[in-house]
Amino acid sequence: MGSLPLDAPMKPLDPHAIAGDSQAILEFLAEYYHDVDKYPVRAADLEPGRVRKLLPEAAPEHGEPMEHILEDVRRDILPGLTHWQSPRFFAFFPMNASSAGLAGEMLSGSTCEAVACTLAAARDRALGRLGGHEAIARLVVYASDQTHATFQKGARLVGIPSSNFRVIRTSAASGYGLTAEAVRAAVDRDVGLGLVPLYLCATVGTTGLGAVDHVRELGEEARRHGMWVHLDAAYAGSAAICPEFQDYLDGAELADSVSMNPHKWFLTNMDCCCLWVARPRDLTSALSTDPEYLKNVGADDGGAGNPAAIDYKDWQISMSRRFRAIKLWVILRRYGAAGMRAHIRRHVAAAKWFEQRVAADERFEVVVPRRFSLVCFRLAPRFGRDDDDGDDATNHVNRDLLAAVNASGRAFITHFVVDGKFVIRLAVGGASTELQHVMEVWDLLQGKAAEVLQHYVKPNGL
């Protein structure tokens, strides 16, 4: 294992690299657990922010060998850990580990709670301003009809009545992105009813269509009423490592919180959700707990006043927390910023190739313009009528096409429904997906389309 050549193709799941890197990590872990009793269980002279000072401000441009990364872990990170697996750890109830558990860990994952936490912070900030919990029935949350369902669930979890969740309709005219005009109309209507606008979710790269909301306009509109603005960049946020995609995040500085999931498109194993908050104290005020057995010197406010002494139990729902940051750090070290840009651009180029083929085939149509690596398309046979029956028939054709492709076992794709249209989604983003795989699925789609259309052909045509 050496550094990655500058012209080497990105192969994140290359079997030889997996074997080599895994062996180095296993040897590192074996050495650590063999010597864990030699470390101070908890270093007595820990200084908040010590590791931060040892790390560079930016990710390396080019990837590094795994041995170099592990040596930095050994030198810079291990001395600052509290060693929960030390045989001399008697502080809290244990967090057990085992060799079998370590093996199983490679196959496990969980979920991200960032949405519920930001909603709780927004709720408590507003209730403090309104004078008490009784006002919760007046708080309103706004999102588009393309926003991820997580936000409705999160709103219910923090006590927002379901009747106070506004799903604002989008249209093809805006590329199914949420506009400030639509939000303004909904907010003004609620204010007229005596309700209080609480929280607005803007999305860059929606799940169904890859749509992009008008972030800056939405942020400015939300400020008129003191709303919390959350920017959901779970999928497309990874693309911002490439300069050509950063304009989609224009206005992000107006958001109160921003989330993105590196496990979606940034080569990071499940689960890893990054959450930025403009004012950490809003979060810790809503989530902070201070029982005697969890007293932490230097982090009485969860670290909101001292970023070097952050107590993340006050930034989340659960008390315990996995060291998720280290796997993202290893990703950036191993592949470098240049490698990650190449990874994103490879997928975007393949999606662009596919979109061009769809547009060039008169049997198909692109439903929404592609922005990242998601292509939304459908078969568009000419049934000779534009009424609802024609739309239903077109939807049936596309359902059959999707079923035929998935039944082949050669590819797996999904669908979405927008404006009554059954749309097929091709999401390019697999760690080992290359252009050749996209070319193969296009060939498969063409063949299955011909078969499906035969069933709808009548003597006088479609």
Within 8 A by CB and 6+ apart from 382, the residues are 462
Return the number of other C-beta atoms located less than 10 Å from residue 223's C-beta. Answer: 11
The average confidence (pLDDT) of the chain is: 85
In the chain, what are the domains? Answer: 15-108 (1.20.1340.10), 114-278 (3.40.640.10), 338-454 (3.90.1150.10)
Do 148 and 206 form a contact (C-beta atoms < 8 A)?
A: yes
Joined tokens for residue 419: 């404006």
Q: Which pairing describes strands 257-260 and 228-232: parallel, antiparallel, or unpaired?
A: parallel
Q: For 335-360, what is the mean pLDDT?
A: 95
**Residue 251 — pLDDT band, cuts 50, 70, 90?**
very high
Do 262 and 239 form a contact (C-beta atoms < 8 A)?
A: no
Within 8 A by CB and 6+ apart from 64, the residues are 3, 333, 334, 336
Amino acid at 310: I
How confident is the model at residue 293, as a pLDDT?
67
Q: How far apart are CA 144 and CA 158, in angstroms?
A: 19
pLDDT tens-digit profile of 29-63?
Answer: 888 888 888 888 777 777 777 888 888 888 889 98
How confident is the model at residue 273, as a pLDDT?
86
Within 8 A by CB and 6+ apart from 87, the residues are 36, 37
Q: State the first-to-last Cα distance of the chain, in angstroms, to the nearest integer.
A: 59
Name which residue leads in pLDDT, 333 or 245: 245
pLDDT for residue 99 is more than 70: no
**Residue 424 — pLDDT band, cuts 50, 70, 90?**
very high
pLDDT for residue 402 is more than 60: yes
**Residue 239 — pLDDT band, cuts 50, 70, 90?**
very high
How confident is the model at residue 87, as a pLDDT?
72
pLDDT for residue 90 is more than 70: no
Environment class of residue 218 by beta-carbon count within 10 Å: exposed (0-12), middle (13-18) or buried (19+)? buried
Whole-prediction pTM value? Answer: 0.82
What does the H/E/C string look like for the chain?
Answer: CCCCCCCCCCCCCCHHHHHHHHHHHHHHHHHHHHHHHHCCCCCCCCCCCHHHHHCCCCCCCCCCCHHHHHHHHHHHHHHHCCCCCCCCCCCCCCCCCCHHHHHHHCCCCCCCCHHHHHHHHHHHHHHHHHCCHHHHHHEEEEEECCCCCHHHHHHHHCCCCHHHEEEECCCHHHCCCCCHHHHHHHHHHHHHCCCEEEEEEEEECCCCCCCECCHHHHHHHHHCCCCEEEEECCCHHHHHHCHHHHHHHCCHHHCCEEEECHHHHCCCCCCCCEEEECCHHHHHHHHCCCCHHHCCCCCCCCCCCCHHHCCHHHHCCCCCCCCCHHHHHHHHHHHHHHHHHHHHHHHHHHHHHHHHHHHHCCCEEEEECCCCCEEEEEECCCCCCCCHHHHHHHHHHHHHHHHHHHHHCCCCCEEEEECCEEEEEEECCCCCCCHHHHHHHHHHHHHHHHHHHHCCCECCEC
Give phi and psi for 233, each to the nearest 5: -120, 40
Q: For 350-377, what is the mean pLDDT?
A: 96
**Residue 163 — pLDDT band, cuts 50, 70, 90?**
very high
**Residue 432 — pLDDT band, cuts 50, 70, 90?**
confident
